[in-house]
């Protein structure tokens, strides 16, 4: 009798363990499955309207806009640049040209044979953005020109009217990424898969904006910034969250949280700084 009761207890224990393990496995499977169903995208919401980019396009949009901010150029300059890059390369740093320019390369499809620089230079997004702005600012009154006219003066494209179709995207992302429209840019992303490096974020910001005052607190990079610059840096961080494994961005009492996927929300925070937190852990698989 005692032996029978012992066997029953053992069977109950084994069954309980099996149920627990099965439940854990099911939960993990559900989480992993849920992650694969997340449609990753970045949007810019301005005045009730919305424009959308893929996360890799948003990275280049943030760099192009940050370079304009670093140079003290108006958001209109970034709007023109973004619309141009979208038409020329779909906002991707491509290493090939087309029939109109077989040696065209990079975000703006700049041609080494036309004096834009070496192939290596025009394939450098930071160089390419600066080269575009160098040409744009030489055009008197570009700020008030139609995008097609300003872009064509720089690019001399065979399809000059094509730039206009990207004006909305360019204007919305330029407004958000320049900091003129707070909390315009938000990205929906899957969970971070690797350990983030605040130092890498700092280096990326320094290239995009020039020298910034920063400090590292654990997995958080603290950037001294106020006003539109603070919102520009914060939205740059959101646009670059996938590559840098950013999990949270805090600025001016608002927070973007990668895991919540609910846009910008109220939160405690100090004015005069942007807090960019990266993932402390990686995911095996």
Positive or negative torsion for Cα 130, 215, 262, 48: negative
pLDDT at 31 over 60: no
What Å distances lie between residue 85 and 125, 267, 284, CA to CA? 11, 35, 36
- Token digits for 109? 């499809």
Which whole number is the average pLDDT over 52-69? 98
**pLDDT at 71 (0 to 100):** 97
Q: Is the pLDDT of residue 168 over 70?
A: yes
Secondary structure element (H or E) that encloses residue 140, with its range: none
List, edge to edge, every strand of the sheet that includes 185-188. Answer: 49-53, 41-46, 185-188
Residue 80: per-residue pLDDT: 97
Q: Across residues 228-250, what is the average pLDDT?
A: 98
DSSP string, 57-111: HHHHHHHHHHHHHHTT--HHHHHHHHHHHHHHHSSS--S--BTTBTT-BTTTTB-
């Amino acid at each position: 009798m005692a032996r029978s009761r012992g066997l029953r207890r053992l069977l109950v224990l084994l069954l309980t363990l099996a149920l627990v393990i099965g439940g854990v496995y099911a939960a993990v499977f559900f989480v992993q499955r849920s992650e694969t169903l997340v449609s990753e995208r970045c949007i810019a919401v301005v005045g009730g309207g919305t424009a959308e980019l893929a996360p890799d396009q948003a990275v280049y949009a943030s760099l192009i806009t940050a370079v304009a901010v670093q140079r003290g150029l108006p958001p209109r300059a970034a709007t023109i640049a973004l619309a141009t890059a979208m038409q020329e390369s779909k906002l991707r740093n491509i290493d090939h040209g087309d029939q109109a320019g077989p040696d065209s390369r990079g975000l703006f499809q700049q041609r080494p044979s036309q004096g834009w620089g070496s192939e290596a230079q025009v394939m450098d997004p930071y160089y390419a953005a600066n080269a575009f702005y160098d040409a744009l600012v030489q055009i008197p009154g570009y700020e008030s020109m139609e995008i097609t006219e300003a872009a064509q003066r720089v690019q001399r494209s065979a399809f000059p009217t094509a730039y206009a179709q990207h004006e909305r995207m360019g204007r919305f992302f330029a407004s958000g990424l320049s900091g003129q429209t707070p909390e315009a840019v938000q990205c929906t992303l899957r969970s971070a898969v690797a350990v983030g490096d605040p130092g890498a974020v700092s280096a990326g910001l320094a290239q995009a904006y020039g020298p910034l005052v920063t400090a590292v607190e654990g997995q958080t990079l603290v950037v001294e910034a106020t006003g539109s610059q603070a919102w520009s840096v914060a939205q740059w961080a959101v646009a670059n969250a996938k590559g840098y494994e950013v999990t949270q961005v805090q600025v001016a009492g608002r927070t973007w949280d990668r895991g919540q996927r609910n846009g910008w929300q109220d939160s405690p925070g100090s004015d005069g700084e942007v807090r960019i937190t990266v993932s402390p852990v990686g995911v095996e698989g």
